[in-house]
């Protein structure tokens, strides 16, 4: 490998629906909120309102929530 394995993780994008606020906090700390996007698993509901999982994770800042809830996807898809 030319880079450390953790550096490759920062080149991928991750789904924010990972069951617990602590797991989401850990993911954000390791790869950054700019690599995390909200997934819904539609048509199979994981939660009634998938966005609530992001909004109710106390360790995320408002800027991190904004990134996860749409800013990262908009940048990736170039729709800003």
Polymer length in residues for the chain: 80
- Residue 61's pLDDT band (cuts 50, 70, 90): very high
- pLDDT digit string (tens) for 12-48? 999 998 888 999 999 999 999 999 999 877 787 766 6
Q: What is the pLDDT of residue 6?
A: 83
> In which residue are the tokens 């996807």 written?
73
Q: What is the pLDDT of residue 42?
A: 77
- Please determine, for residue 65, whether its predicted confidence score (pLDDT) is greater than 90: yes
Residue 9, C-beta contacts closer than 8 angstroms, at least 6 positions apart: 30, 31, 35
Every domain of the chain and the residues it spans: 5-77
């Amino acid at each position: 490998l030319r880079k450390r394995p953790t550096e490759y993780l920062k080149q991928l994008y991750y789904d924010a629906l990972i069951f617990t606020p602590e797991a989401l906090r850990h993911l954000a700390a390791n790869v950054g909120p700019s690599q995390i996007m909200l997934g819904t698993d539609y048509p199979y509901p994981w939660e009634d309102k998938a966005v609530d999982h992001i909004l109710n994770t106390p360790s995320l800042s408002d800027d991190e929530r904004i990134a996860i809830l749409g800013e990262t996807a908009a940048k990736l898809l170039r729709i800003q």
